[in-house]
Amino acid sequence: MSNLTLVTGATGFIGSHLTRLLLEKGEKIRIFLRNPVKLKVFGLHEKDNLEVFKGDLLKPEDIPAALDGVDRLYHTAGFISTYPKDKKKVQRLNVDITTNLFETCGKIELKKIVYLASIFALGGGNREPVDEDTSYNLDGLNITYARAKRSSELYIRDKIREGLPIVRIYPCYCYGPGDLNNSNTRLLLTYLDRKLPGYIHGGQNVMDVRDAARGLYLGMTKGKIGEKYIVGGMNLSYDDIFSLLEGITGYPKPRIRMSKRTGKFMGYLNQMVSLSPIIDKDAAELMGHFWYYDDTKARKELGYSSRPVADTLREAVQWFCSRGIAPWPPGMDKSRS
């Protein structure tokens, strides 16, 4: 073994923070990506301990060379979208790439694999926080992304039974700096653009993306093969989240609180007139649940911890505004951006 780690999804929201963390720790890493030009945007080029492999996880023939000499793997590549136009892409960039990668992994010897799993593949959606032992309860959730991640979850469970040394890490809703792909923070940007008149009654476990990256690292260094670990922050209703944002930005929180039924109808109308609506029907469906989770296991077994949610939201706002992605709220402190 050459003490080399492969990272997929290094230009994603969580993957880029993981890559940066590994480089800071002096680890020798190889990143697998289709477009190396993207690395400059993340400041990851010209690193002595960074090796770039250009390839495509949708092409099984590219994968063996990427894994050559590797003894550890972080699989963070994926694609999040609820837009109807992205249904086929969601399947390819979650299910197909995972199958291609792990079928090849089964033919070589690896010390450990950390897989970036999804809370939607685990279950939940109610006010009562669930943990790693919850019974899956989302068969009726007809959302392409959730179904794709559940399909991958079942496939990986089989791979673990076959002997692949996989640890599964389940981050909750991530915020913070660096979401160049706008993969997780569409709602926040819509609020900052003052285009969000209302919200649906529901909630999220809100966490910092850098804590998610650290959770993956802890999964590699301390996680037990075959185990599941939820990593999160705080369980907050949307009313709580917008109250925090109101205190940070000075913008009033949306005053209209809709039922899930009304929100889904509005989302359906939105997607009839736009390919990329502010809120589509599936996004409204997700917003109408309480995605609350209990990460006690990761805190006890991995030494995981999370930073204050208000700090995370403030840094996310400052990051977007300082780059011109969203307008600066009047009077907001720009000195820490």
Count of Cβ atoms closer than 10 Å to residue 195 Cβ: 9
> pTM of the prediction?
0.94
State the average pLDDT over residues 191-200. Answer: 88
Q: How far apart are CA 318 and CA 300, in angstroms?
A: 32
Sign (positive or negative) of CA dihedral 217, 245, 277, 178: negative
Q: Which residues touch 260 (CB under 8 Å, ≥6 apart)?
A: 200, 201, 202, 284, 285, 287, 288, 289
Q: How far is CA 221 from the centre of its chain?
A: 20
**DSSP result, 296-307:** HHHHHHT-----
For residue 335, pLDDT beyond 70: no
Query: 313: helix, coil or strand?
Result: helix
For residue 172, pLDDT beyond 80: yes
Query: 171: helix, coil or strand?
Result: strand
Each residue's pLDDT tens digit, 15-47: 999 999 999 999 999 999 988 777 776 677 667
In terms of pLDDT, which residue wins out, 247 or 82?
A: 247
**Which residues does residue 72 pair with via DSSP β-bridges, in sequence order?**
5, 112
Superfamily of domain 5-175+207-234+293-310: NAD(P)-binding Rossmann-like Domain (3.40.50.720)
For residue 57, pLDDT beyond 50: yes
State the average pLDDT over residues 68-86. Answer: 93
Q: Which residues touch 232 (CB under 8 Å, ≥6 apart)?
A: 171, 172, 205, 207, 293, 295, 306
Each residue's pLDDT tens digit, 111-162: 999 999 999 999 999 999 999 999 999 999 999 999 999 999 999 999 999 9
pLDDT of amino acid 221: 98
Percent share of the chain, pLDDT over 70:
94
Lowest-confidence pick of 98-102, 111-115, 202-206, 269-273:
269-273
Q: Mean pLDDT in the chain? A: 91
pLDDT of amino acid 1: 46
For residue 277, pLDDT beyond 70: no
For residue 271, pLDDT beyond 70: no
pLDDT of amino acid 13: 93
pLDDT of amino acid 199: 87
Backbone angles phi, psi at 46, to 5 degrees: 55, 50
pLDDT of amino acid 265: 65
pLDDT of amino acid 187: 86
Domain boundaries, the chain: 5-175+207-234+293-310
Q: How far apart are CA 209 and CA 294, in angstroms?
A: 17
**Which residues does residue 212 pair with via DSSP β-bridges, in sequence order?**
none
For residue 52, pLDDT beyond 70: yes
Q: How far apart are CA 194 and CA 224, in angstroms?
A: 45
